[in-house]
Amino acid sequence: MSDERNGCDFDPDALEVVVRKEVPGQLEALTPAVEEVMAVARGMECSQGKEFEIETALREALANAIQHGCRNDPDKRVEVCVACDPARGILIVVRDPGAGFDPTSIRARCAAATSTATTAAAST
């Protein structure tokens, strides 16, 4: 096995954690949290030129965690960590207290939907 890393692998020893924040599990906390994290992220070398994409990904991940993981309960918390790896870029981790899901079930549903759409298109 090669030690060579692809674009998605991060070396934990090279990561510089820049932001670690807990966000209340309610939608009203979303925008202030994104603005606070982005104020720091904009100063990170690994985010230069990608600020819009980073903000969009962060906003979507937090909204999902608040809505689905916390069920918009202000007593629950979402954890956000933002780290920079100069060789690979930015890493954003969003954790919520939700039950989670099996990623293979998503692939199966996508495959079934694609198959159904293809069959429907072929029969018209």
Task: State the pLDDT at residue 38.
Answer: 94
The domain defined by 16-98 carries CATH number 3.30.565.10: yes
Q: Alpha-carbon distance 55 to 61, whole Å?
A: 10
Task: State the pLDDT at residue 13.
Answer: 79
The answer to whether 33 touches 76, Cβ cutoff 8 Å, is no
User: How do the residues of the chain divide into helix, strand and coil, expressed in percent and rounded to 5?
Assistant: 45, 20, 35
* pLDDT string in tens for the chain (124-residue length): 344 444 567 777 778 888 899 999 999 999 999 999 999 988 888 888 999 999 999 999 999 999 999 999 999 999 999 988 877 888 899 999 998 877 777 776 666 665 544 445 555 5
